[in-house]
Amino acid sequence: MEVPRTRLQVRLLTPPTDIAWGNTYIAVALGVKGFYLVEPKKGKVEKTVDVPAYNLLWINDDLVVGSSSRVIIFNNVLKVKKEFEVQSDVNALTYSDGKVIAAGNGWVSILPLNRSIEMETIQVGLNVTAVAAKKGIIVAGTMEGRLLVIDEGRITWSTELGSPIFGLSWGPYLVVGTNNGKVFKVVNYERLNLEEIATLGGVNDLKWSPKGDEFAVADNVDKSLTFFSVDGKIVAREYFKSIPIKLDYSPTVTEVAVILESGELVTIGTPKVINILKSIVEESKCEERAKILCKALEKALWEIITELGNDVPIDDFLTLRNLGPKLLYALPCLLKHLDVVKKILKDLMSMEDIVEALKDGCDNFEKWLDSVSKNSLCIKKVSNLLIDLMELSPSDLLPAQIPTSVALVEKFGCEKALEIMECVFALALLLKDLKKYEDDLGIKLPNLTEMVLYVLLKDNCEELLSRLKEIAEIKEKVESLINEGRIVEVFDMLEEAKRISEDLKNVITTELPDGFVGI
C-alpha cells in the first residue's frame, strides 16, 4: 500500500525566502518581515522576529541570520550573541571549520566564531547566489553562471556553467545545480572538473542529507522535490502545486522541509523513511480490517518517528514489524507513554527492547516501564556489566540467550543483580583463561553461555567461581610439580581437575533446560 509522503503542511502569512531545520524549531526566513520559528511536530508558529532575514543557518542551537548588510547570530533564547557587518544584503550562508561563510553581490566573507581571528572579505565581482565550504576551500555559485573556487583568500579557479547557480551542497562530493536544470558532480576541486549527473526542469536549491546517503533537489519547473542516491540515481520524486523555493533536512534525517512559492511550508518523508513506514504498516495487516485503520497507523507512526528520531537509528524502527497485527493495539499504548519511552531509549533500552515489552499487552508494558523507570540507574549499571561481558568474549556468548538488564533487576533486585553480574564477570575472566589450558590439563569445561545461564538460573556464581579457582590452583601446582619431576602427584592433581570439570559439566547438563546446553 502507498504511504503519503507529506506529514506537515503550514500556511505562512508571508512568502518565505529560506528555511533551516534545527534541533528544536524550523526557522523560516520572510525577507524584510523577519523570520518565524515553527514547532516541527504540529506546525505551530511559536516565535516571530522582525529583523530582516534572507538566509538562515543553524549551528547547534544558535541561529545564523543573513540580514540587510549584517549577519546576526542568535542564541537559543533569541538573544543576539554575535553580529557582523557585511557589504550588502546576504544571499547565501554556510558553515565550515568554526567559520560562517556569508556571500552577496560582489563579495564573500569569512566570519570566524573565534573572536581572536579577524573577519576576511574576498571581492569576487559577481553576484553570489550559493556557497559551500570544506576543509578551507570555499566554492561559490553566481547569478552570472560562474562557479568559483576560493582558497587562502583568493579565487584560484573558476568555470562557466551558462546558467545561474542556485544549488551548492558538499557531502561525499560537491553537488552543483543550475537554473536550467543541470545537476553536476565535482570530481576534481583543483581544476573544477564537473560531471553532469542529471537534467531536471530547473534547480532552485539542493541539499545533501546530513548522513551523506542521498541528496534532494528542488525543481522550479516540474514543481517537484527529487531525491538522488549517493551514486547520482533518482530514487523518488514528490510533486507540488506550487514551485519549491528552498529545502532543508531534519536533524533526524527522516524528513525534508520545503517552502513553496505559494507561501506554504511542507515536510516530506525521505524515501528510506517512507519505505520503512510502508513495511511496518503492511506487516500490521490493517487493510484486512479496514483501510481507515492504516491511515491511523501511518499518523501514529509519524508521531513516534518524529518524537524518537533523535534517539533511535531510523532502521531500528523496523523492529515494530515484529508486532504484526498486534501493532494496532500496541501503538496507542506506545504513544500514551512516549515521554517515558524517550527517556529510557537515551540511556537504557533499544527499540527492540520496547517492542518485546509491547508484545505482552499494554498492562504488562506499563508495569515494565514503571520498573525500568524506578530502577533506571541500577539497570544502567547492570547493562554496562553485560556489555563488558559481551565484549570480553563476543565469540563465546550468545546474546539472544542472556537475560536483559531489566529482566535481571526484576528477578534479583538491584543490589543482588549487580552482585551477580560482578561475580559473573570474574567467572568469565577466569574461564576464558582456563579454556586455553584444557588440552594441557586433559579437561573439558562448560562454555561461557552455559555457565552464565546456569548461574542466573541457580544464583550460585560464587560456588562455580570457587570450583574454577580450584582448577586454576591445580594448574599452577602442576607446573611446579613437573619442574620437580614429581610425576605421581602430577597425575593425581590432573585426575582431580578432570573430576571437577566433569562435575561442572554434569551439573549444568542436568539443570539447564533442553536447548540451552552445548550451544
Give residue limits of the domains in the chain: 7-196, 276-391, 399-511
For position 63, what pLDDT does the model report?
97
Q: Quick one: pLDDT band at residue 517, thresholds 50, 70, 90?
A: very low
- In this model, does residue 366 exceed pLDDT 90? yes
Q: What backbone torsions phi and psi does residue 190 show, to the nearest 5 degrees?
A: -75, -35
Segment 466-490 mean pLDDT: 88
- In this model, does residue 515 exceed pLDDT 60? no
Q: Quick one: pLDDT band at residue 400, thresholds 50, 70, 90?
A: low
Segment 281-304 mean pLDDT: 90
- In this model, does residue 93 exceed pLDDT 70? yes
Surface-to-core class of residue 196, CB atoms within 10 Å of its CB (0-12 exposed, 13-18 middle, 19+ buried): exposed
Segment 340-363 mean pLDDT: 88
Q: How many residues does the chain have?
A: 519
CA separation for the pair 85, 70 (Å, rounded): 5
CB of 179 closer than 8 Å to CB of 203 = yes
Q: What backbone torsions phi and psi does residue 422 show, to the nearest 5 degrees?
A: -65, -40
CA separation for the pair 382, 388 (Å, rounded): 10
Mean residue pLDDT across the chain: 90
The pLDDT tens digits of the residues spanning 123-136 come to 999 999 999 999 88
- In this model, does residue 1 exceed pLDDT 70? no
Q: What percent of the chain has pLDDT over 70?
A: 96
For position 485, what pLDDT does the model report?
81
For position 166, what pLDDT does the model report?
97
Look at 73-87, 158-172, 189-203, 273-287 and tell me which has the smallest mean pLDDT. Answer: 189-203
For position 100, what pLDDT does the model report?
96
CA separation for the pair 204, 181 (Å, rounded): 9
For position 486, what pLDDT does the model report?
86
Query: CB neighbours of 174 closer than 8 A, spacing ≥ 6?
Result: 132, 134, 139, 168, 185, 186, 189
The cell 534541533 sits on which residue?
A: 23
- In this model, does residue 110 exceed pLDDT 90? yes
Give the predicted TM-score (pTM) of the model: 0.80
Q: Quick one: pLDDT band at residue 3, thresholds 50, 70, 90?
A: low
Cell of 239: 510533486
Segment 153-174 mean pLDDT: 94
- In this model, does residue 298 exceed pLDDT 50? yes
Segment 329-358 mean pLDDT: 89
- In this model, does residue 389 exceed pLDDT 60? yes
Cell of 196: 553532469
DSSP lists the bridge partners of residue 239 as 224
Query: CB neighbours of 61 closer than 8 A, spacing ≥ 6?
Result: 22, 23, 24, 75, 76
- In this model, does residue 518 exceed pLDDT 70? no
Query: CB neighbours of 29 closer than 8 A, spacing ≥ 6?
Result: 16, 17, 18, 19, 35, 53, 54, 55, 56, 65, 66
Of the two residues 470 and 515, the one the predictor is more confident about is 470
CA separation for the pair 377, 417 (Å, rounded): 12
DSSP secondary structure letters along 197-240 = EEE-S-EEEEEE-TTSSEEEEEETTTTEEEEEETTS-EEEEEE-
Segment 171-176 mean pLDDT: 95
Q: Reduce the DSSP state of residue 20 to 3 states and report it.
A: strand
DSSP lists the bridge partners of residue 131 as 140
Quick one: how many helices (H) and strands (E) in the chain? 14, 26
The pLDDT tens digits of the residues spanning 32-79 come to 999 999 999 889 999 999 999 999 999 999 999 999 999 999 999 999
Segment 400-421 mean pLDDT: 82
**Nearest one of 83, 361, 269 to 369, comparing CA atoms:** 361
In 30-118, DSSP assigns E strands to 35-38, 45-49, 55-59, 62-66, 70-74, 80-85, 92-96, 99-112
For position 377, what pLDDT does the model report?
85
Q: What backbone torsions phi and psi does residue 448 show, to the nearest 5 degrees?
A: -65, -40
Segment 166-185 mean pLDDT: 96
CB of 54 closer than 8 Å to CB of 67 = yes
The cell 523507570 sits on which residue?
A: 373
Q: Reduce the DSSP state of residue 88 to 3 states and report it.
A: coil
Segment 261-286 mean pLDDT: 94
For position 514, what pLDDT does the model report?
63
Cell of 370: 514503571
Look at 15-24, 90-99, 376-385 and tell me which has the smallest mean pLDDT. Answer: 376-385
CA separation for the pair 91, 246 (Å, rounded): 13
For position 511, what pLDDT does the model report?
78
Q: Quick one: pLDDT band at residue 189, thresholds 50, 70, 90?
A: low
Q: What backbone torsions phi and psi does residue 253 show, to the nearest 5 degrees?
A: 60, 35
CB of 35 closer than 8 Å to CB of 56 = yes
Amino acid, single-letter form, for residue 198: A
For position 519, what pLDDT does the model report?
36
CA separation for the pair 276, 300 (Å, rounded): 14
For position 374, what pLDDT does the model report?
84
Report DSSP state, residue 316: G
CA separation for the pair 308, 303 (Å, rounded): 9
Q: Quick one: pLDDT band at residue 408, thresholds 50, 70, 90?
A: confident
Segment 327-338 mean pLDDT: 93
Report DSSP state, residue 192: T
For position 106, what pLDDT does the model report?
97
CA separation for the pair 21, 266 (Å, rounded): 12
Q: What percent of the chain has pLDDT over 90?
A: 61
If one looks up domain 7-196 in CATH, what number appears? 2.130.10.10
